Chain A
Amino acid sequence: MPTHSAPAVSGRGVSRRTFIAVAGISVAGALAACSGAPTGTRHLRLSSWNIPLDLESYQLIADEFVAAHPGTSVAVEVTTGQFHQWFITRLAADLAPDIIRITPQQIGRYAANGSLVDLTGAVPPEYEDDYSEPFWAIGARENGLFGVFQHTDNFITYYHRGVLEEIGAEAPSSLAEAWHWDEFLGIAGEAKKLTGAYGFGYGWGGPETAYRWLPIVYQNGGAFLGDDGETPSMDSPEAVEALDFGRRWYAEGLVSPANMSKSGGGAVARDLFLTGQIGLLLDNPESIAALDEGMPDEWGTAPMIRNTGEASDLGGNALAVTKSSKHPELAAELVAYITSRAKVVEFCKRGNWLPARSSLDASDIGYDRHSETMQRFIDQGSTIPLSMVRAESGQYFSSLNSVFADYLDLCFLGELSPAECGTQMTEAMRSVTTR
């Protein structure tokens, strides 16, 4: 059976031919009807998630870019829910936006199948020096640079001050002192007694975010895919041990069964934390605003938990140029501009994001609030392992992520033992990677 693995660089030509063969529609001149830009002006469209402050930042930065490039214009648009459905459909008709803000977990397929444009020529070579290897690897592949990581986002531990005080535990302040798994579960057990409900929560955000649990696997020295970045390895003893650790969260009632990757209803763990039903929360910086509003001064932060190894979630977004772009060079130039050091500072300050560039710390950004906490997040970013980045930004990841979500559920619910789960998940993953 043929596989998808051959990069479809020639996709455009073939796609059109097949389309004609199938549909019998003449293509001549049809594309011309689709471009709405006034003649002479080179128009770019940038699509971002619908986060008002970010849309504002993009527009401001784009306006500066336009001012420096006469005869251009840039529109900032929003990406709807159901990303893949929207993006695949748009790409098929060559109507995707020029520039797309895309997560590391989403980028792999499009980089591999020829949907994104190689940015190598447009992005100054010194950019790479200001990125850690894992963060650069999100966009860089063997055959080119298909995206530049703009900002990151990862997990640390939030705790309820009162709860921790009553337990008599001291929150670790540096990465070196981070709570190890057993220590953490011990504290979570105490917290459960105090809250009367659960101990802690994990910051999943809906069915597509199962991957946020992968750091736990890497914290134990396990890996999602082997060293070649392709061979599923969730059946290794380390991975199975991690699954066993996860099973304990639910078997011991430390985490609410409603707090699993697939369950809907918004940020479940955050809501549990805000209502005092859990004492600890593993989550990203997005919670800060809500905690400031709901329980100001009652919360503190500590590094992400760890075991034999360290790891944290790979959040954040890259910017990429799509093959639909009529002006790929110009679009690539804009991507380089937005990801320049000065603009990353501007963007992260307004939107409270973490910079992806290594040379930036919290004081460079000048966050309005919680500079110390933001610095903790930035430091935590260095624990994200390269092999996890490679796995998550690989070409099969969105499929593998659904498989991961399915089997994680089965393990956490106790339908499968951790060992069975590891074996069956690996097998299901293999059927994806060898498809």
Chain B
Amino acid sequence: MSRLDEPRKDGLGRGTRRRARWAPYVFVGPAGLLFLAFSLLPIVIAVALSFQDTATLGDGEWVGTANYRTMLGDPLLRTALLNTLVFTIGTVPTAMAIGLALAVALNRPLPGRGLLRALFFVPMIAAGVVVGVIMSWIFNPDYGVANNALAALGLGGLPWLTSPSTAMITLIGVVVWTRIGFCMVIYLGALQSIPAELREAAAIDGASGWQRFRRLTVPMLAPTTSILLILNVVFSLQAFDVIYVMTGGGPGFSTTVLIQYVFRSAFADARMGYAAALGLLLVVILLVFTLLRQRATKRAEELL
């Protein structure tokens, strides 16, 4: 993940031998215990649930892989997976590209850049529920400010959330909006740790702004991009509140994504076992993505 990740040759090995055996366990202990109690144990129970037919927890029967087999023939799951794919592809690269552009722009000595940085980060501050509430208000086609503004400009209103063909686009826009600040800040951090001499050297070599960006900045940012990509995919696959509040998965099935379907199975349908299986499917998708991504990065590094 980082060049700091590689084992150090400057004395760690020697030091480790002399250091107290118990020390690492004391330092990692609190996190480990909390992890055991509040993460691992619930996950183990959830895995067990996915092999049961149960409404809540406990009163279920063991049904083997029935929940997993049900998935294969579930038409709603297929729709949800497809929507999830569209949503993820729509949100992740967009948010990252805008975040990168803003970071590059705001890394220059511009007047008032501190305030500008803060303003771009502001959307991230609002909780998903709050964002959903505000946005469904703004995008109401009949009295929302978005269409009122279009009307004041003499343009017709748009069916932001009321048509299956536009609702997903609007949602993607809203989620990108909440995400750009985060991507920007992380990229800004990475940009500031690129040594200034490198950039100056490139400038002296006569590289244009775009060339410097392509040849120098982008490769230097690759590890950051890699982490942001994985985090953003995780965020997108788990984006629930905003969608739930704004469209409830509709109109029709047009914005029903996998996490929406997990929620629905668990609580509206009271099929906790099936929901657990669906949730684990989500985890498997994420794991596969992460591993593929890591392999791709490694291969790219080898090629270089």
Contact = CB atoms under 8 A, between A and B. Distances in A.
Interface residues of B, number: 48
A271 B143 CA distance: 9
A72 B66 CA distance: 48
Contacts of B264: 402
A75 interface: no
> Per DSSP, are chain A's interface residues mostly helix, strand or loop, or mixed?
helix
A429 to B, nearest CB: 12
B116 interface: no
Looking at B66, B164, B251, B264, the one whose CB has the most chain A CB atoms below 10 A away is: B251
Interface stretch (A47-55, A58-66, A85-93): A85-93
Given A15-B59, A92-B58, A271-B143, A399 B269 contact: yes
Interface in A254-269: 256-258, 260-266, 268
16 contacts: A16-B58, A18-B57, A22-B48, A85-B263, A92-B58, A206-B248, A256-B142, A257-B141, A258-B161, A260-B251, A262-B248, A266-B137, A272-B142, A277-B143, A409-B250, A435-B271
A23 B41 contact: yes
B245 interface: yes
Contacts of A207: 244, 248-250
A17 B44 CA distance: 16
B246 interface: yes
Given A19-B57, A22-B48, A92-B58, A262 B136 contact: no
B45 interface: yes
B222 interface: no
Interface residues of A, number: 52
A78 interface: no
Contact of B66 (A1, A11, A272): A1
A19 B41 CA distance: 11
Contact of B56 (A88, A197, A265): A88
A402 B269 CA distance: 9
Given A260-B250, A272-B142, A413-B164, A398 B269 contact: yes
B247 interface: yes
B53 A1 contact: yes
A183 interface: no
The 9 nearest A-B residue pairs measured at CB: A15-B58, A207-B248, A262-B250, A262-B248, A265-B136, A264-B136, A257-B162, A84-B267, A11-B59
A251 interface: no
Interface in B65-116: 66, 70
Given A22-B48, A264-B132, A406 B252 contact: yes
Contacts, number: 144
Contacts of A4: 53, 55, 270-271
Given A262-B250, A413-B252, A23 B45 contact: yes
A415 B252 contact: yes
B251 A197 contact: no
Interface string A1-23: 11010001001001111110011
Interface in A394-415: 398-399, 401-402, 405-406, 409-410, 413, 415
A39 interface: no
Nearest to A114: B59
A390 interface: no
B57 A15 contact: yes
B270 A197 contact: no
